[in-house]
Structure formats: C-alpha cells, structure tokens
Amino acid sequence: MSPTSQFKRHFLNRQVLITGGLGFIGSNLARRLVALGAKVTILDSLIPEYGGNRRNLAGIGRKVAVHLSDVRDRHSLPAFVRGQDFLFNLAGQTSHMDSMTDPETDLEINCRAQLSILETCRQHNPGIRVVFASTRQIYGRPDYLPVDEKHPLRPVDVNGINKLAGEEYHLLYSEVHGIRSTVLRLTNTIGPRMRIKDARQTFVGVWVRRILEGRPFEVWGGAQLRDFTYVDDAVEALLLAATRPEAEGQVFNLGGPPPVTLQQLADLLVEVNGGGRFVVKRFPVTRKKIDIGDFYADHGLITAKLGWRPRTSLRTALGRTVGYYRKELRHYV
C-alpha cells in the first residue's frame, strides 16, 4: 500500500482536531487531512504576532470547521476535545525573543494550556490519539552533532523550558493516564504558509519576504550550521506519528537534508530566486546568550522506527517556498 492509501485508511471520515490549525504547519497538515477525507476541526486564536493566517486555508475553507479560540481558554476545551479521534497539538508561542521579554505569556501557552488540554483529554476523551509538536530548542547548545534524542536537555530560553515541560506532560499522560501521545521535536521547518512578515517564526520567512520585495535581507553571523525540514515532510511525520502504535509514548527528532551554513542557505535562496542580495551582520549581542551555535538533528530513530525520512531537498524546498510567495506575497505581509 502506498503511504497515501495507508493514511486514507486511518483518516477517512475520522474526526481530527488541530490546535494552531491556521498556522504554518497546522494549515499544511489540515490541507493534507482534508485530501485524505478526514473531518477537520481547527482551533486557532489568530493572534497577530503568531503564525495563524486565514489565507492558509484558501481552497479548503468550506471543508474544515474553524473556531477562533485560544488554548488558554480551558473552559471551551471540553467541547473541542469530545468526539475527536486525533489531536494534533500544534498551537504554541514560537518566538524565542518574545519568550524572554514576556515569559509569562509563553508559559501560559506552551506550558499551562498544554496541561489543560491533556487534563481535558483525560476527563472527556481518554481514547484520543495525540501528537505534540515540540522543538529542537529544548536541547540548548549541542554537546555533539548531529543531536540525537539522548542528548541532554538544556534549554537556553524561556520558550525552551516551557516547551520541554509541555512535552513532558504529554509523555507523562501517555505513561500514567494512557492518553496515547507522541512527541516530535521539530527542527527549522520551512515552506509555503510560514510566517514571512518578520522573523518571529523563522528567520527564513523574513529572508523570503525581503528578497521578493527586492530588498537585501540580513544574515546574522553566517557560519552557523542549521538543518531544515520541508513542511510536507513534517506533515508526513505528523501523520506517521499519529497512526503507528509503536510511536505511542515516544519522542522523535525530525531532521532534514544535509545541514548548511546560513551563508550557504542565503546563497542558495538567491540562486533559486534568480537574484537578490543579502548583507552579513554580526550576531546581535542581545541575542548571544540565548543562541545555540551550530545545530543539526539526527533523525535516525524515526527513520528506524517509523520509516520517516526527509524527501525534499533544500533546493526544492526553497524553490517551492519562493514560488508560493511570489504569487501570494500580498496575503502574508
């Protein structure tokens, strides 16, 4: 059976809740699930600084139920969670800098709301299958590369601390209360529907915006190594995590094609775009303390256990991303 027909068997006519479903990864996931015949409900707060954008559902808007609600509102959670077969728990505050200037908001969303969601599952729908989107940020500055799941967890910002608590709640509820959950630690994810207005979600977003607007983009540092997952590959991992029994209670890194320096990434973006300029700047002192240096992930575990691997080259990923925003720019800036 092809992956798609396998997934169809799992998702056709099934009820799926996506928190943060108007966001970058959530909306790409929703589009795939609609194609697979799932009945998708989206919960998203559309906070302007976050990743949600109604344009992300263009073409499938009538096929999903969208509720403007916030995961911090614990009172509405039972109504969302009841009757769902799957929960893709993607709502989050993602900006590392914002987590340092407004740490309590980050805690409310990435920590407290996650516990409320799991408590709601325990009380109202203990049979639900949950996938939680965590982040490489919880590893902090790597002791070794590539970073596997056994690497010590030493978050360097409030966001990392709270995301770590969030994933631990999921694993605990899986272990102790039988709320079957899988945690994916995402690395830098890029692709259509990411936030490009600024660097709050990913610096690649604002690079793409600037190059399409004909302005030079800024590369901070330039020598740091990073890996990138194309969003379709991340969606594939989310679907595998949700449907494979052997993924229950487990944590998996995602990864990407071979890592590149930011300078190489910038060069490739200019090449793929057929032109453009960037300036290399010194890494800002204010961010130095929460920077993690080089990072790339070892995704060997999810390859071995679930058969996932990144299928999209960085060149293809950037090409599709630039192609998308060339047409859609006005909806995202």
Least distance (Å) between residue 130 CB and its own copies: 16
Closer residue to its own copies, CB minimum distance, 141 or 277: 141
Closer residue to its own copies, CB minimum distance, 85 or 157: 157
Residue 60 interacting with its own copies (CB under 8 A)? no
Least distance (Å) between residue 115 CB and its own copies: 6
Residue 104 interacting with its own copies (CB under 8 A)? yes
Q: Which 252-291 residues touch its own copies, going by CB under 8 A?
A: 289-290
Closer residue to its own copies, CB minimum distance, 67 or 122: 122
How many Å separate Cα 100 from the centre of its chain?
20
Instruction: Give the residue from 31, 171, 21, 40 showing the smallest Cα distance to 89.
Output: 21
**x/- track of binding to its own copies for residues 152-191 (CB under 8 A):** xx-xxxx--xx-xx--xx--x--xx---------------
Identify whether the C-beta of residue 298 lies closer than 8 Å to the C-beta of residue 253: yes
Closer residue to its own copies, CB minimum distance, 9 or 288: 288
- Segment interacting with its own copies (CB under 8 A) among 100-108, 141-149, 249-257, 264-272: 100-108
Q: Which helix (H) or strand (E) element contains residue 131?
A: strand 129-135
Least distance (Å) between residue 139 CB and its own copies: 13
List the end-to-end C-alpha distance of the chain, in Å, as a whole number. 41
Determine the number of helices (DSSP H) and then strands (DSSP E) in the chain.
13, 13
Distance CA 140, CA 329 (A): 33
- Segment interacting with its own copies (CB under 8 A) among 129-137, 149-157, 226-234, 320-328: 149-157
Identify whether the C-beta of residue 8 lies closer than 8 Å to the C-beta of residue 36: yes
Instruction: Give the residue from 110, 219, 214, 240 showing the smallest Cα distance to 170.
Output: 110
Distance CA 259, CA 296 (A): 6
Residue 5: is it exposed, middle or buried by C-beta count within 10 angstroms (0-12/13-18/19+)?
A: exposed
Long-range Cβ contact pairs of 298-304 (< 8 A, separation 24 or more): 298/146, 298/147, 298/148, 298/149, 298/253, 298/255, 299/252, 299/253, 299/254, 299/255, 300/148, 301/148, 301/149, 301/252, 301/253, 302/184, 302/237, 302/240, 302/252, 302/253, 302/254
Least distance (Å) between residue 116 CB and its own copies: 7
Identify whether the C-beta of residue 219 lies closer than 8 Å to the C-beta of residue 278: yes
Closer residue to its own copies, CB minimum distance, 115 or 329: 115
- SS3 label, residue 140: coil
Show the CA angle centred on residue 221, arms to residues 25 and 156, nearest 5°: 60
Residue 97 interacting with its own copies (CB under 8 A)? no
Least distance (Å) between residue 105 CB and its own copies: 11
Site size for its own copies, by CB under 8 A? 27
Closer residue to its own copies, CB minimum distance, 153 or 268: 153
Residue 103 interacting with its own copies (CB under 8 A)? yes
Closer residue to its own copies, CB minimum distance, 36 or 113: 113
- Segment interacting with its own copies (CB under 8 A) among 77-85, 105-113, 123-131, 239-247: 105-113
Out of 44, 85, 98, 119, the only residue in the binding site for its own copies (CB under 8 A) is 119
Residue 81 interacting with its own copies (CB under 8 A)? no
Closer residue to its own copies, CB minimum distance, 72 or 305: 72
Which residues of the chain form contacts with its own copies (CB under 8 A)?
100, 103-104, 107-108, 111-112, 115-116, 119, 152-153, 155-158, 161-162, 164-165, 168-169, 172, 175-176, 289-290
